[in-house]
Amino acid sequence: MPSLHKKLLRELWRMRGQVLAIALVIVGGVGVCVMSLSTYDSLKHTRDNYYANYRFADVFADLTRAPLSLAARLRDIPGVVQLEPRVSAPIKLIIDNFDEPVTGLAISLPPAGTTQLNKIHLRAGRLPSPHYDNEVLVSDAFAEAHQLATGNTLGGVINGRLKALRIVGIALSPEHIYQIAPGSVFPDYQRYGVLWMAYRPLATAYDMQGAFNNVVLSTARDASNKQVMQQLDTLLEPYGGHGAYTRAEQHSNQFLQEEFNQLQTMAVLFPVIFLGVAIFLLNVVVGRLIGNEREIIAVLKAFGYSNRQIGWHYLLLTIIITSLGIIAGFGLGYWLGQLMTEVFATYYRFPALLFATDPLQTAAVMAICYAATIAGTLRPVLAAASLAPAAAMQPAAPAVYRRALVERMPLAANLSQASRMILRNMERQGIKTLLAIIGLAAACGVMMVGNFQQDAVDKMLHVQFKLTQKEDIAVSFDDALAKRALYSLDNVPGVNYVEGLRIAPATLRFEHREYRSSVTGFAHAPQLRQLRDANLNTIAIPAQGLLVTDHLAHKLGFSVGDRVEVEFIDGAQKRKQVEVAGLTSEYLGLGSYMALDALNRLIGEGPAVNSALLSIDQQHAQDIYQRLRDMPAIIAINLRQTVIDAFNESLQRILVAFTLINATLGAVIAFGVVYNTMRIAFAERARELASLRVLGYTRGEVAYTLLGELALLTLISLPLGFALGALLCDVMSSGLQSDLYRVPLVLAPRTYGFSALVVIVSALFSGLIIWRRICHLDLVHVLKTRE
């Protein structure tokens, strides 16, 4: 083995603590990156295979009613490959031993019993027979939530008629990977389910014999979906077409894609932060190591080693440390990726989960890590290679000192000699002091990044479900009803207050941009659903004009005072120009709002509502649920508390899992930074500390001069760390903005406190290690002449 390699191994062993700490920082960055990318790749690969194998449709359309004979004309549209007309019907479900309202969607299967698009995957059982009018498939998630199995029965109310339904199979569909109720943001498998029935019994129950109200189709690869949808809308308009939409706008796929985008964001931002800290550490460590080995470098050059050999020697040190971090980081990342994929598997419903990684991404991560760490240490390595032997043989020129600031301070006389030494050294070694403070601040900032998301989730819950949505129950009607229909709800015993709403599906357009959403009409001065601005102040509903979510306004590029086109997605598909009267601030979903009377006028109808909000006496809750379930006009019932539970179950499951992993890795990184800072300081001053011991200073006094300085540096770094952490959290928050939800920048005192605590505990633990080394200083070695 070459002598330089032996020297390298000895140095690695001598610096094993620092090497391990730096490697842990790299492990954290690589681990988070690999975890996020492997989870993303696995889910995307699984989804894409599922879509392809089960023929997920490209275009969807709802309508009021059309004869089956129209399907032939629809199939003749240029670009259409396959098309299936269906009946879809809202259904109220009655589950034994479950008293809360349960709603769902019933979808017909083709007369042949099998689908060519959005194909069914049977987990258990068989397909429903067209010869029986009570056989159904139920979605896997719903069956699991209620422990339903083939052979069980449940009650179903379709079109106001109660029917006993027998479960003959448990199924999955690519159309409902993300299974959510209309108007909801998160899935609630206990209170919303998807059922499939043979066409004939469902069409009969819903008065749709020989007709359909929903159509799905696939298009050719070279076809223009926009042109296909235009022709489809033209043909469906006489039959109450609600406007066709693409796969990208389909609820399940849209929400799934938003989650994937968030996952991709996390896969980039966290590793960039972690690897940035690792590069900083490597630069400091290698730079100071070379500074302490001036004489050794000179001797090596005197023995004939070239600049290239010297440079490669120290560069190899960086490569080995980086390699240790990459190898361990990939192992940790793959393991965490499998765990996270399993977490997502309970959230999304796939027939099989395929854990996959992209070799190109793996190679890219490795290349970026090596390039970043080598670039970070290149300057000190080049400095070592270019160091002249004659100059290196001599100790570095002493710094030019002057009377320190602390000695000119009036209070200096009250400080002990050791305290003045600490302050003098910090001032005179200004660059090193600054680097140490930056490193410690980075440790604090990394911890804040790993923990702020819990604060954000708490804020989202508070704003959405305490300040904005104050109702106990929200109900939806099967059609727009006269406002007097609210009296029947107000007369239910236990109902304290009722507000009517009208929710009109609509497409908003501004210039060349558009977004499919809805316009909600509010009564004057609503009490149960209050819109808020960015400062959380209540916004009054204007008599005219549109209020729009600020994120939607930014997405479409308009502002207050602009006029936007609103196309209502109903049978008439009316288009109106409406002025934007104000912006609202919301964390969940995208929407637009108007006064109820103004919305009804735009639609061209009299006073009408299709939804209602109820405030109730919780002592009468079960009786109210029963009364609402028995009302034929009500097709959906949502309880605010169940929405909150679904929010916690869905969003927190993912965010908290990521937060826990990132906080843990952040703590490891924080310790690595703190330990390296202290270990480097000790290595640089070991001779000075031993000299003080020879001069008669006690171990405690010697330790105070070093550990006291490090303690002061730690305390100074915390405010800077808080500022850096807030900046990094702001970057993270900006990357977690989507149509599904927006994660706000919220930093609670506990986040600051916990981050500071981790840094302080790391400093205390590192201080104990340094104390042990101070106790074992070689006092004989220091008496020898260094030169």
pLDDT digits (tens, 9 = 90+) for 158-168: 888 888 999 99
In the sheet with 245-246, reading across from the earlier edge strand, the strands are 80-86, 211-219, 59-67, 245-246
Query: How far is CA 532 from each of CA 468, 528, 529, 541, 549, rounded to the nearest angstrom?
Result: 7, 13, 10, 11, 10
pLDDT, position 396: 60
Which tokens is 545 given?
A: 């004009």
Q: Which residues of 10-46 are buried (b: 16+ CB within 10 A; e: fewer)?
A: ebbeebeebbbbbbbbbbbbbbbbbbbbbbbbbbbbb
Percent of the chain with pLDDT over 70: 90
pLDDT in tens, 644-680: 887 777 666 666 666 677 677 667 777 777 777 777 7
pLDDT, position 406: 61
Facing residues of 219 across strands? Answer: 80
Q: Are 678 and 770 in contact (CB under 8 A)?
A: yes
pLDDT, position 592: 94
Place of tokens 């106790």: 775
Q: Which residues of 656-691 are buried (b: 16+ CB within 10 A; e: fewer)?
A: eebbebbbebbbbbbbbbbbbbbbbbbbebbeebbb
Residue type, 244: A
Q: What does the pLDDT average to over 553-562?
A: 93
Place of tokens 């954000």: 456
Confidence of residue 398 (pLDDT cuts 50, 70, 90): low
pLDDT, position 251: 86
pLDDT, position 194: 95
pLDDT, position 272: 76
Facing residues of 499 across strands? Answer: 613
pLDDT, position 571: 56
Confidence of residue 93 (pLDDT cuts 50, 70, 90): very high
Which tokens is 633 given?
A: 């006009």
Place of tokens 């009468």: 620
Q: Residue 413 pLDDT > 80, yes or no?
A: no
pLDDT, position 87: 95
Q: Write the DSSP string, 590-618.
A: --EEEEHHHHHHHHT-SSEEEEEEEEE-G
Confidence of residue 214 (pLDDT cuts 50, 70, 90): very high
Most confident range, picked from 228-237, 405-414, 442-451: 228-237
Confidence of residue 44 (pLDDT cuts 50, 70, 90): confident
pLDDT: is 574 or 602 the higher one?
602
pLDDT, position 209: 92
Q: What does the pLDDT average to over 47-56?
A: 94
The helix (run of H) or strand (run of E) holding residue 566 is strand 563-568
Place of tokens 């800290």: 277
Distance from C-alpha of 558 to C-alpha of 509, rounded to nearest angstrom = 10
Q: What does the pLDDT average to over 294-315?
A: 81
Confidence of residue 783 (pLDDT cuts 50, 70, 90): low
pLDDT: is 411 or 10 the higher one?
10
Which tokens is 252 given?
A: 């399940």
pLDDT, position 574: 77
Distance from C-alpha of 380 to C-alpha of 282, rounded to nearest angstrom = 10
pLDDT: is 652 or 446 the higher one?
446
pLDDT, position 52: 94
pLDDT in tens, 128-167: 988 888 999 999 999 999 999 999 999 998 888 888 999 9
Distance from C-alpha of 482 to C-alpha of 696, rounded to nearest angstrom = 95
Most confident range, picked from 355-369, 436-450, 482-496: 482-496
pLDDT: is 236 or 376 the higher one?
236
Confidence of residue 503 (pLDDT cuts 50, 70, 90): very high
Lowest average pLDDT, out of 6-10, 112-116, 533-537, 704-708, goes to 112-116
Q: What's the mean pLDDT when you consider all of the chain?
A: 85
53: helix, strand or coil: helix
Which tokens is 726 given?
A: 């807030």
Q: Residue 605 pLDDT > 60, yes or no?
A: yes
pLDDT: is 646 or 189 the higher one?
189
User: Phi, psi at residue 83, to the nearest 5°?
Assistant: -145, 140
Q: Residue 787 pLDDT > 60, yes or no?
A: no
Most confident range, picked from 77-86, 385-394, 432-441: 77-86
pLDDT, position 112: 62
Give the alpha-carbon dihedral of 651, 652, 658, 664, to 10 degrees.
170
pLDDT, position 188: 83
User: Phi, psi at residue 588, to the nearest 5°?
Assistant: -125, 125
pLDDT, position 611: 93
pLDDT in tens, 241-293: 888 999 988 988 988 888 788 777 776 777 777 777 767 766 776 676 666 67
pLDDT, position 672: 75
Q: What does the pLDDT average to over 523-544?
A: 91
pLDDT, position 300: 80
Q: What does the pLDDT average to over 492-508?
A: 93
pLDDT: is 780 or 129 the higher one?
129
Confidence of residue 643 (pLDDT cuts 50, 70, 90): confident
pLDDT, position 245: 92
Lowest average pLDDT, out of 258-272, 430-444, 565-579, 585-599, goes to 258-272
